[in-house]
Chain A
C-alpha cells in the first residue's frame, strides 16, 4: 500500500468543489443585472471538469483515498455524459428560471453540488463513499425542488421527496450495515473478495441485499418504489424536473454496477438480485406504460415513461454479462439524451406566467413551428423505440442481451409493453401534427437553447443511423471497468 496515494483521479471532483465554493461566495458580490456572470462561471466550471476528466481518463482502474474512490473508463464516460447533460440543462433552463425569479446564485451552487454528488457516486469504490455521494445529490435536489418558495405544489413535492428519500436512504444504510456484518468490509472490491473466499451462504448477506435492492429501486424510480416520481416530476419547477429526470439516472446506473455487480457479483448472490431486479423490471414496465396512458400532464406522463425506461434498463442489468451491463449503460446514456430533449422542449414552450405542462399545450405545434415539432417527433419516436432513432438501438441492445441470457419471455413482455408505451408517445405526435393549435404565441427561445435543442434532437437521429461509436464506447467502458 502506498502512503502517498495519487490524487489525480479525483481532480475533477476537487476542482468542482473548489469552484462551487468560489461561485457561492462570488455570487454574494454580484448584482442582479450581472447575474449572467454566475451562469458563465458555472458553465466554465463544468467545461473545466470535462477537460480534467478527459485528461485524467485512464483505461486501467485507478484507486485512491485508500481504495474508497476509483477512476475507471466507465466512470469517465458517465461523468463526461453528466457534464454534457448539466451544461444542456443550464442552457435550456436559463430563460425559464430567469422569468421565475430563480436565476440566483443558489440555483447554480445547488446544481454544482448535485453534480458533485453524481460524480462521487459514479466513482465510489466504497459503500460509504457511495452513500456520501448519494446524500449530497439528494439533499441538493430536495432544496432545488423547493427553490420556488411561493409555490405550494413545489413545496409539497419537496416534502414528499425528502420524506421518501430519507426512508430509502435509511434502507440502504441498513442493507449496507448487514453487508458489513457479513463481509467485514465496506470496500467494493474487498466485499467481492471476501464473498468469493467464504462462499456466499450467508443469510445476513441476502437479507441485506433485499434492503439494498429496495433502496436502489427507489433511487432509480423502479416500481414498486416509484410513488414519489410522478409527484416530484410534476410539482418541481420544470427546470429542476429536467435535472431530476435526466443525469441522476447515470449515477444510479453506476450505483447498481458498483454495488450489485462489482461487490455482490458472485454467482450465487447474483442469482438472488437478478430475480429481484427482474420483478422490479416487469412491474416497472407494466405500471409505467399503463399508467402513463391516463396522464394529461406531460410532466407526469414523462415521469411514468421514466419508470418504464428504468424497467428496460433493469432488464439489461438482469441479463448479466458484459453484454448486459453494456446494454444497460447504453440505455442509460440514450435515456439521458432523450429526456434532456423532451424536457428541454417543455421548457421551450413555457414562457412568462405560462407553464407548458399539459399535453394540450403541444396541440398544433407543427403549425406554430415545424422545426420544433419535427425535433419532438424524433424524440417521441426514439422514446417509443422506433427505428431509425437511437431509442430503438437502446431497446434492441437490451433485448439482445436478455435473449442471450436465455430469458426470451422477458424479452416478449418487454416488447409487448413497449407497444403499450408507443401509444402515449404517438399521442403527442398526434397532438403536434394532426390537431390545430389553440395557442398561437410565437416560440422565441434564446439562440443557444435553440441550437442546443436542435443538436440534441438531431443527435437522436444521428446516433440512430450510426449507433456503432456510442455502443462501442459503452462496451469498452464496461469491459475495462469490470
Chain B
C-alpha cells in the first residue's frame, strides 16, 4: 500500500545526514556542516508530512507497519509502526530538530560539525523510539539516545557540565538496565517473542506484573522525570547548551511518558491499576511541590527545568487516571510542553547569548532594549502559565477534567498549578523584562535578529494554533487512546 518506508526514512535520514555532517571534519568547514545539517533536518521533517497526511484517523492498531527479520536467534524484528500518539511525537521531534539546528547556527562556534551531527543522530534515534514495535528495537533506540545527549551536555555545556552529563547518563542507564531484565523476562513469558503486540496479549501473574511495572517505572520515571528521581534534570538543563535543553525538554522527557503509555500500561494493566494511586501521588507531588520549588529559583534555566518537571506531572497524572480525557490530555500536554518548554529555553538562550548569565538578578528592564523579544517571551510565559488560547491551557485543562471524573481532590491539587505556574513564570518574567534598565549590559542589548525571529515565530504560531484549534491533534489520537485504554481495562491475570 505504501511505496516508501516512510518511518524508516524518518529515522535514517537524520542519522545519515548526521554522519555526513560528521565527515566534514574540523571547524574550517563549519558553514558546510551547518548547511548539510539544515538540509538533513528539513528533509527529516518533510518525510514526516506525508506520514501525517496519509494517516487514517479511523483505523485502529498500527499503521505504516514495516517488519524485517533482524536477529533470528532471539526472534527480534526490525518492526516499525505508528499509532496516533507516536505520530504526534514523531512530528514534534522532526519539527524541533529543524528549529534546534537553526537556533545553533551562529551560537555554536566550537566543533560545529560534531554539534550538528549529535543533534541529527539524536533526532533519528528518538524517531526510532517512537516508531519501534519490537521491544528490543525500542530498547536499543531508547538507550542509544544517551550517547549523543551525553556528548552534547558534556562538550558544549556550562561549567559543571562533566558532573551533569555523567549524572544524566548513569541515572538514566540504571533505570533502563532494569527494564532490560524485565523485557527479557517478558520474552520468555510470551513464549519467545520480543514483539510489543505479543507482550500485550501475554497473561502475567500479579507478582510478575508488579516487578515488571517497577522495572519499567525505574526506566521511564527517571526519563519523565517524576519526583523523587528528578534531580538529574535541573543539573542537566542548567549545564546543557540551549539546543540541548530544548531537545531534552521538548523530546527526551517525552520518551518517558511515551514509555509508560506504550509499555507499562498495556503490558502490565493490573499492576498499573494496583499502583495507580502511587503514581498519582508522585505526579501530584511533582505538580505542587516542584511548582513551589520553581518559585524560589534564581537561575532562569533552573526555573524552567523545575517548571518542566511540574508540567510533566500532568502527563503521568493523566495517564494513570485511566479515562479518555486524562490520557488525551496527557498526550496533548506532552506535545504542548514540547513547544512551550522548547520556546522558553530558546528565549533564555537568546538572553544568555547576549549577556552570558542566566541569573534573574542580572536582568531587569529588558523590554526597553528588546521589545520584539519581550513580546515573544510574554506569549510563551503565558502559555507556560496555562493561559486559555495557548496550547498550555488545552493539555492542563483536559487532564484536570479527566482527574475531576476520577476524584475531586486530584483535580483540585492539579489545578493549583494554574496558580503556582502563573506565579513562578510571571514573576520571573516581571523581574527580567519589566522595570527600569538594571545595568549597563542590559542597556546595550540588541533585539532578536531574523534567525531568532523565525525560530521563535514558528513556535509562537504552533503554540497559538494548538491552543485555539486543538481538534486536529486530538482527532489523530482518539483511536490510539481508546486502544490503549481497552488494553488497560482488560485484566491479564491468568485464569480470568
Contacts and interface: CB of A to CB of B under 8 A. Distances in A.
- Whether A associates with B in a native complex is yes
Interface of A: 366, 370, 374, 377, 381, 386-388, 392-393, 396-397, 399-400, 403-404, 408, 411-412, 415-416, 418-419, 422-423, 426-427, 429-430, 433-434, 467-468, 471-472, 475
- SS class, residues of chain A in contact with chain B: helix
B344 to A, nearest CB: 27
Given A370-B114, A415-B177, 7 more contacts: A386-B173, A387-B140, A403-B181, A419-B170, A419-B174, A423-B170, A472-B73
A479 to B, nearest CB: 11
Contacts of B408: none
B146 A386 contact: yes
B381 to A, nearest CB: 33
A416 B73 CA distance: 25
Contacts of A422: 169-170, 173
Contacts of A387: 139-140, 143-144
Interface in B22-79: 22, 25-26, 70-74
16 contacts: A366-B111, A370-B114, A377-B147, A381-B147, A386-B143, A392-B143, A396-B180, A397-B74, A399-B184, A403-B188, A408-B181, A408-B185, A429-B150, A430-B166, A434-B154, A468-B72
B178 A415 contact: yes
B301 interface: no
Nearest to B26: A370
B143 A475 contact: no
Interface in B138-175: 139-140, 143-144, 146-147, 150-151, 154-155, 161-162, 165-166, 169-170, 173-174
B187 interface: yes
A30 to B, nearest CB: 42
Contacts of B70: 468
A433 B151 contact: yes
Given A411-B181, A415-B177, A433-B155, A386 B73 contact: no
Determine chain B's interface SS by DSSP, over half rule.
Answer: helix
Q: How large is the interface on B (under 10, 10 to 19, 20 to 34, 35 or more residues)?
A: 35 or more
Contact of A415 (B136, B162, B180): B180
Given A386-B144, A399-B180, A404 B169 contact: no
A426 B162 CA distance: 10
Contacts of A415: 177-178, 180-181
Interface string B383-415: 000000000000000000000000000000000
A471 B147 CA distance: 24
Interface string B431-454: 000000000000000000000000
B157 to A, nearest CB: 8
Across chains A and B, which 8 residue pairs bring their CB atoms closest together, nearest first?
A415-B177, A387-B140, A434-B154, A403-B184, A471-B73, A387-B143, A468-B71, A411-B181
Contacts of B143: 386-387, 392
A425 B155 CA distance: 17
Contacts of A403: 181, 184-185, 187-188
A475 B178 contact: no
Contacts of B72: 468, 472
A420 B62 CA distance: 38
A370 B140 CA distance: 25
Contact of B181 (A412, A423, A467): A412
